[in-house]
Structure 1
């Protein structure tokens, strides 16, 4: 009888611990990930590429809400782009600082959907013309997170809504400020690049990103 009561007590304690762990979720856990984004397009002789590397560190403040920030690098190139009535090879080297907040929902098993609100701050210059570039804005993204183990996951995300304000300062010229709001991201890199730097505006970050996340 004593052995039976002891076994029952162990089972109850185990179930209680599991229930408590489940209710707490990932609250208090830290995570580290790095988002990689790449986009390329070609139109005639114009070839455009956009590459983003954004390491992110954050923590879960509730079982399903996380806050964090990323610091990374963004490189935008457009070969043979039309500029000022001629053509030029454009190469912008930019730095990104991006605070963010995420909300997670469990879809099934190890699959999670998350919504992300980020406020990227971008600064740098286009090297060919020495054009100084700065941009800040707000991006709303949706993503899928698959936990391979409880401490490691693979995530994919896509920008859905973008607001941005871009300031361009030519070498020795007057600065220009461009405000843009768009639903979903411009898929054509050349259009996004030229509109952001020389026309109507647009987010400079890549629309699609993937990464590997470690939870600890």
Structure 2
């Protein structure tokens, strides 16, 4: 009876350890984001823009995470001392991501996101609303227990855009892009390549 009881306790301990190992990153929070600044001067006009989109997420399963990005894009175009274009755009982007191990600290992931933007042209008062779907594969390298380095690119994206002018009728447009590679010889680029770090806690 004692041997049977000890075997049962050992089995329970082994099962608990196995469950802990299979837990992966479940229950882990993470933060990342996008920060970009650019300035273009063609001699006649100068355009400055900045993008700030912090993202936070949570692993709901060992290899599955959900996240939400919220941020802004600001753009201004000046011709001499006159501002000829200025816009502010608010961004909301929920996402879900699934990971697969490639061995060691390397992981492959597939991400689906729903970017939504709400913009306003400060010169004309036109309002622009866009809702899209973006599918992006990528790779993640675990540096240590609290940081990873990742890269991804847009594979397929669809966007529906509505422009509502200050006066007049609204216009709608739809775009679909399923070609992330520019196949022109000598100019091969990956569409929307993103490289960044993710912090775990």
TM-score range, shorter chain: 0.7 to 0.9
| Larger CA deviation: 42-51 vs 131-140 | 42-51
2:74 corresponds in structure 1 to 75
Q: Which range moved further: 69-78 or 102-111?
A: 69-78
Give the Cα–Cα distance (whole angstroms) in 2 for the partners of residues 95 and 186 of structure 1.
Answer: 28
- Matched residue count: 180
RMSD of the alignment, in Å? 3.3
Aligned match of 2:171 in 150, 170, 176?
Answer: 176
Match of 2:25 in 1: 26
Kept after mapping to 2: 8 A contact 1:71/1:96: yes
The DSSP-based 3-state class of the residue aligned with 1:165 is: strand
Cα gap change, 1:124/1:117 in structure 2, threshold over 3 Å: closer, same or farther? same
- Higher deviation after alignment, 31-40 or 106-115: 31-40
1:212 aligns with 2:197: yes
Equivalent residue of 1:144, what SS? strand
Shift of 1:154: 2.0
* Segment drifting more, 31-40 vs 58-67: 31-40
Match of 2:107 in 1: 112
Q: Is the aligned partner of 1:138 residue 2:137?
A: no
- Structure 2, unaligned runs of 5 or more: 1-11, 183-190
- Report the Cα distance in structure 2 between the residues aligned to 1:208 and 1:37, rounded to whole angstroms: 13
- Does 2:140 align with 1:151? no
Question: Given the two structures, how large is their TM-score scaled by the length of structure 1?
Answer: 0.68
**Structure 2 counterpart of 1:163:** 158
- If each structure's helix is expressed as a fraction of its own residues, which one has the higher value? 1
Shift in alpha-carbon separation, 1:177–1:154, aligned structure 2, 3 A: same
**TM norm structure 2:** 0.73
Using a 3 Å threshold, how does the CA distance of structure 1 residues 26 and 172 change in structure 2: closer, same or farther?
same
Residues 24-63 of structure 1: per-residue CA shift (max 9 Å, x gap): 1101211111133567888896776764322111111111
Deviation string 1:62-120 (CA, Å, 9 cap, x unpaired) is 1111111111112356678xxxxxxx843321010111000112223222221110001
- In structure 2, relative to structure 1, the CA distance for the partners of 1:60 and 1:96 (3 Å cut) is same
2:63 aligns to what? 64
Residue 20 of structure 1: how far off its partner (Å): 3.9
| Equivalent residue, structure 1, for 2:98 | 103
